[in-house]
Amino acid sequence: MALDAWVAGAAPLNYTSLTLQSVGRKLTDAETQIQSAESSKVPDRAGLITAINRLAMAVANAEAGLQDDTPAKVQRAQRDLRNAIAALAAAYAKFFSPHP
């Protein structure tokens, strides 16, 4: 991920910031699409939206840490990103799993 590369000193700030902004926009688009889609699995959809929001918040926190040049904030955001990705994967699996 671009953020990991920035922390390691292998990616410039501008590139990393633009990447995070792009990811944030894509997450917003995904949330909008999920909210507007018709689905009988409303509780599962709510879980998916919550997971996307959590991921978007972690991306925003990482971006804020970059802009503030606060490595500790970026590292917290990295942990939050990893946890949010795991939560999104679980919500995705639940949403798309076969239901009787």
Span 50-74, pLDDT tens digits: 999 999 999 999 999 999 989 899 9
pLDDT score recorded for residue 42: 64
Euclidean distance between CA atoms 78 and 55, whole angstroms: 11
Cβ atoms 63, 84 nearer than 8 A: no
Let me know: does 69 contact 21? Beta carbons within 8 Å: no
- For position 89, what pLDDT does the model report? 94
Distance CA 46, CA 15 (A): 33
Burial environment of residue 88 by CB neighbours within 10 A (0 to 12, 13 to 18, 19 or more): buried
Q: Is the pLDDT of residue 78 over 80?
A: yes
**Taking the model in full, what pTM does it have?**
0.86
Residue 99: predicted pLDDT: 66
Token look-up 């507007």 returns 36
Angle, nearest 10°, between helix axes 13-36 and 42-68? 160
